[in-house]
């Protein structure tokens, strides 16, 4: 039976067309993946080798200068504006005086008796004043032994029997039978939790001074203080946290090692909560073994106020439980569009426009801060200047969402902003609220810096007690207290 060659040829053509279509689809998919890879590579190159600021210049396609773009580019048919600015140049500030509360040691420099005698040959020498200058002198840390001497007395009675009486030491012993005092404990703890100096390095420093003080001893001091003193104080601070009108939250990872040297399954996490109150700020750290949403939900139980976070879905549980208003962070939105601007393959006028508009929102915040506007004036200024910009951003995001695939950075940035939109406008409701969560990110930075130095905690108990110490020193700093002096007073 013969076959029609025309039919066979048509089948081959159909098969080839199908293969061509398949190859085109594969090529499109590979091109998209390649573009995503290039985007990611550019971002990491910028993070590793580029400037650390989020500025960009128009002259360089991959790094645009936001400061130059904060003013809208005029239309071509608009005449150029000429503005004459007159101002007085600020004088360069001189060196700040040394703190007045530092002790002063006088070093008097006078003419020698011989110099005075030579001068008085020509007349009477009269002192008419002093010329005073101050220099900073630093004496390496002074460590001394507090030798406690308790006198003992024998009281002899008339019948010849003696009773031994020893003077009581009224100074409380913070750690029973230990050598530590309030000042030494405050020094060791502030060195670690304020200055990021791990115990093993402190051990080496003490060795140079001829003092045997092991890292294990210092760790034991820390845990003992937490179990016997600090846990109650932290509970009181936690209860007071719920009185805040707004709480900012963030989290970062922490590796915990058990006594046998094994790393606990999964990463531990240090959560930070910064409570804003009208007369003070409370900052609490909370160690948890995981990043599940139940952690902030349990920690903030009973709180009804504003909660400001990034876009991490783990906070959804506490938001969904009701009773509070969720706020988003404009700094995170801006950062995502800046990532697009840093990518030379995808930077565009569109991404620059959004960054420019976000810059206008921050201009309003800068005016509020610099002019120290009272809440009523700040609230009115935001409604007048910020709300129209927010509306413009929202309209642009909706209009352009379909133009950018969600797999690319521009699409990711647009979708992130739209998903967070309801929380991004909440700060207009109350002048005390912040446009972003940067203060909380800054609050967690000391822990991140410390973590780089000591890398991990040696037990969950150690991590929990570390959270308590960070809570104390960071709250002290937020409220203008010097951490070492604060710990010593405790």
Q: Which helix (H) or strand (E) holds 152?
A: strand 152-156
Question: Minimum mean pLDDT among 77-81, 213-217, 330-334: which range?
Answer: 77-81
* pLDDT tier at 66, thresholds 50, 70, 90: very low
DSSP, collapsed to helix, strand or coil, labels residue 177 as coil
pLDDT tens, position by position, 12-45: 788 787 788 878 777 766 766 666 666 566 555 5
Per-residue model confidence (pLDDT) at position 389: 97
231 pLDDT more than 70: yes
pLDDT tens, position by position, 103-133: 889 989 998 999 888 888 888 888 888 888 8
Q: Yes or no: say if 472 and 486 are a contact pair by the CB < 8 Å rule.
A: yes
Per-residue model confidence (pLDDT) at position 167: 76
pLDDT tens, position by position, 294-343: 999 999 998 999 999 998 888 888 888 878 999 999 999 999 999 887 76
Instruction: Determine the longest span between alpha carbons in the chain, in angstroms.
Output: 144
* pLDDT tier at 64, thresholds 50, 70, 90: very low
pLDDT tens, position by position, 417-452: 999 999 999 999 999 999 999 999 888 887 777 666
State the DSSP code for 80.
P
* pLDDT tier at 86, thresholds 50, 70, 90: very low
- The residues spanned by each domain of the chain are 181-328+456-490, 330-436
pLDDT tens, position by position, 475-486: 999 999 999 999
β pairing state of 268-276 and 325-327 = unpaired
Planar angle of CA 284, 288, 291, nearest 5 degrees: 105
Higher pLDDT, residue 445 or 488:
488
Q: Which residues of 20-33 are buried (b: 16+ CB within 10 A; e: fewer)?
A: eeeeeeeeeeeeee
238 pLDDT more than 80: yes
Mean pLDDT of the chain: 81
Question: Minimum mean pLDDT among 91-100, 189-198, 227-236, 410-419: which range?
Answer: 91-100
* pLDDT tier at 6, thresholds 50, 70, 90: confident
* pLDDT tier at 161, thresholds 50, 70, 90: low
Q: What predicted TM-score, i.e. pTM, was given to this entire model?
A: 0.72
Per-residue model confidence (pLDDT) at position 221: 94
Per-residue model confidence (pLDDT) at position 22: 78
Per-residue model confidence (pLDDT) at position 409: 86
Distance CA 26, CA 46 (A): 30
Per-residue model confidence (pLDDT) at position 72: 32
Distance CA 49, CA 44 (A): 8
Torsions phi, psi of 84, nearest 5?
Answer: -100, 125
DSSP string covering 88-145: PPPPPP-PPPPPTTS----------HHHHHHHHTSS----------------------
């Amino acid at each position: 039976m013969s076959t029609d060659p025309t039919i066979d040829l048509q089948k081959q053509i159909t098969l080839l067309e199908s293969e061509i279509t398949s190859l085109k689809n594969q090529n499109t998919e590979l091109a998209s993946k390649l573009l995503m890879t290039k985007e990611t590579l550019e971002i990491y190159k910028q993070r590793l080798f580029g400037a650390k600021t989020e500025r960009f210049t128009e002259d360089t396609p991959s790094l645009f200068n936001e400061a130059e773009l904060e003013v809208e580019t005029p239309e071509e048919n608009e005449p150029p504006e000429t503005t004459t600015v007159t101002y007085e140049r600020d004088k360069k500030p001189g060196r700040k005086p040394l703190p007045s509360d530092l002790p002063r040691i006088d070093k008097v420099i006078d003419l020698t008796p011989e110099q005075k005698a030579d001068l008085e040959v020509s007349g009477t020498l009269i002192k008419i004043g002093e010329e005073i200058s101050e220099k900073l002198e630093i004496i390496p840390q002074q460590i001394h032994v507090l030798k406690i001497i308790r006198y003992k007395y024998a009281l002899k009675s008339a019948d010849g029997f003696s009773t031994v009486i020893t003077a009581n030491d009224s100074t409380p012993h913070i750690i029973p039978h230990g050598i530590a005092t309030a000042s030494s404990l405050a020094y060791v703890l502030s060195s670690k939790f304020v200055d990021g100096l791990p115990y093993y390095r402190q051990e080496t420093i003490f060795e140079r001074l001829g003092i045997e003080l092991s890292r294990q001893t210092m760790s034991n001091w820390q845990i003992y203080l937490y179990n016997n003193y600090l846990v109650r104080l932290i509970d009181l601070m936690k209860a007071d946290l719920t009185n805040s009108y707004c709480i900012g939250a963030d989290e970062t990872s922490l590796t915990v090692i058990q006594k046998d040297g094994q790393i606990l399954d999964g990463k531990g996490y240090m959560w930070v909560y910064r409570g804003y109150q009208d007369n003070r700020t409370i900052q609490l750290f909370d160690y948890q073994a995981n990043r599940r949403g139940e952690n902030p939900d349990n920690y903030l139980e009973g709180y009804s106020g504003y909660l400001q976070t990034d876009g991490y879905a783990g906070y959804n549980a506490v938001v969904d439980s009701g009773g509070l208003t969720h706020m988003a962070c404009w700094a995170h939105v801006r950062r995502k569009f800046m990532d697009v601007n840093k990518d030379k393959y995808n930077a565009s006028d569109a991404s620059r426009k959004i960054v420019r508009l976000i810059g206008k929102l921050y201009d309003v915040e800068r005016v509020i801060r610099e002019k120290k506007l009272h809440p009523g004036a700040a609230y009115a200024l935001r409604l007048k200047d910020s709300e129209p910009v927010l509306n413009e951003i929202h309209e642009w995001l909706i209009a352009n969402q379909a133009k950018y695939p969600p797999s690319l950075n521009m699409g990711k940035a647009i979708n992130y902003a739209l998903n967070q939109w309801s929380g991004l406008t909440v700060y207009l409701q109350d002048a005390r609220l912040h446009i972003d969560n940067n203060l909380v990110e800054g609050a967690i930075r000391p822990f991140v810096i410390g973590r780089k130095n000591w890398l991990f905690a040696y037990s969950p108990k150690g991590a929990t007690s570390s959270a308590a110490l960070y809570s104390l020193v960071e709250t002290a700093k937020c409220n203008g207290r010097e951490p070492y002096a604060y710990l010593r007073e405790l």
